[in-house]
């Protein structure tokens, strides 16, 4: 019985080890400046278009298993069907979106006048939080999915430098921005996403590239990888939900089944 139990556990361990091995590189959903929705391999930079959204969202906020965005330079709020790349109209937020982002606590909108709003993802209703102090202009990027809300903006304000690649953390209770640093040489970050506590930033510099950023300073922590996308800009970036991949789940269930079958055989043998 002991040997059978050990073999069963080893079988389960092997299945889960194979499951982890067979997982692909970390992926994110990306919206481009051409309103294309696609996937981005965060290790290789490979991009694949899923579908054109039909409307350009200001950015993407991933929250509660869904993906959301306010239309760029408009007030309409949408959810995104991630697998199909299509939009579902939810409501009107009553202000003009310049960007959309999220944290693990909710979805946020950044207005063309530099104000921060909390967005109800079920209705699109906006609750005004406060002024960020950021001068809206140039390239603006907002983060998605992490515990902190970050904004990049070349317009300056709130301690930043006009024309520089400014990196801010936002107080989601007051709206106030705190300048943390400059993202250079990762120029003009147009979108950010937090995946497993790693902050990725898509650069809209001379050539599109993807970087990992230090959340305390905005300083790049790697050399960046080339990500040409569809020839357009980074407009939104969001990590996938934590739902297990079907293949991984199937292997896990197979391991559990193997374990139970072995236990049943073991009991039958001891009964005889």
Query: Cβ distance 66 to 78 under 8 Å?
Result: no
Nearest CA to 214 out of 148, 134, 160 is that of 148
pLDDT above 80: residue 118: yes
Over the stretch 56-110, which tens digit does the pLDDT of each residue have? 999 999 999 999 999 999 999 999 999 999 999 999 999 999 999 999 999 999 9
Over the stretch 25-44, which tens digit does the pLDDT of each residue have? 899 999 999 999 999 999 99
Confidence of residue 8 (pLDDT cuts 50, 70, 90): very low
Distances (CA, A) of 200 to 106, 159, 223: 19, 23, 12
Nearest CA to 58 out of 123, 111, 133, 104 is that of 111
What pLDDT score was predicted for residue 242?
55
Over the stretch 158-168, which tens digit does the pLDDT of each residue have? 999 999 999 99
Cis previous bond, 185, omega within 30: yes
Confidence of residue 179 (pLDDT cuts 50, 70, 90): very high
Stronger pLDDT, 82 or 10, i.e. the higher one: 82
What pLDDT score was predicted for residue 205?
87
Helix axes 246-271, 2-22, angle to 10 degrees: 170
pLDDT above 90: residue 24: no
pLDDT above 50: residue 212: yes
């Amino acid at each position: 019985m002991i040997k059978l139990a050990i073999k069963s556990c080893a079988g389960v361990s092997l299945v889960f080890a194979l499951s982890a091995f067979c997982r692909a590189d970390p992926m994110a959903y990306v919206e481009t400046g051409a309103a294309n929705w696609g996937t981005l391999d965060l290790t290789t930079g490979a991009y694949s278009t899923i579908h054109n959204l039909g409307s350009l969202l200001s950015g993407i906020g991933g929250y509660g298993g869904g993906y959301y965005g306010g239309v760029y330079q408009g007030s309409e709020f949408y959810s995104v069907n991630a697998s199909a790349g299509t939009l579902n109209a939810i409501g009107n937020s009553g202000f003009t979106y310049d960007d959309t982002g999220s944290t693990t606590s909710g979805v946020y909108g950044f207005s063309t006048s530099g104000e921060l709003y909390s967005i109800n993802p079920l209705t699109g209703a906006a609750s005004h939080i406060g002024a960020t102090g950021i001068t809206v202009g140039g390239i603006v990027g907002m983060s998605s999915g992490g515990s902190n809300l970050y904004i990049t903006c070349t317009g300056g304000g709130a301690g930043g430098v006009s024309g520089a690649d400014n990196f801010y953390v936002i107080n989601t209770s007051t709206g106030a921005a705190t300048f943390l640093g400059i993202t250079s040489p990762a120029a003009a970050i147009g979108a950010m996403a937090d995946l497993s506590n790693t902050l990725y930033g898509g650069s809209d510099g001379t050539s599109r590239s993807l970087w990992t950023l230090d959340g305390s300073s905005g300083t790049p922590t790697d050399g960046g990888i080339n990500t040409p996308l569809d020839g357009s800009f980074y407009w939104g970036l969001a990590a996938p939900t934590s739902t297990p991949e079907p293949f991984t789940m199937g292997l896990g269930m197979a391991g559990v089944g193997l374990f139970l079958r072995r236990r049943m055989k073991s009991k039958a043998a001891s009964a005889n």
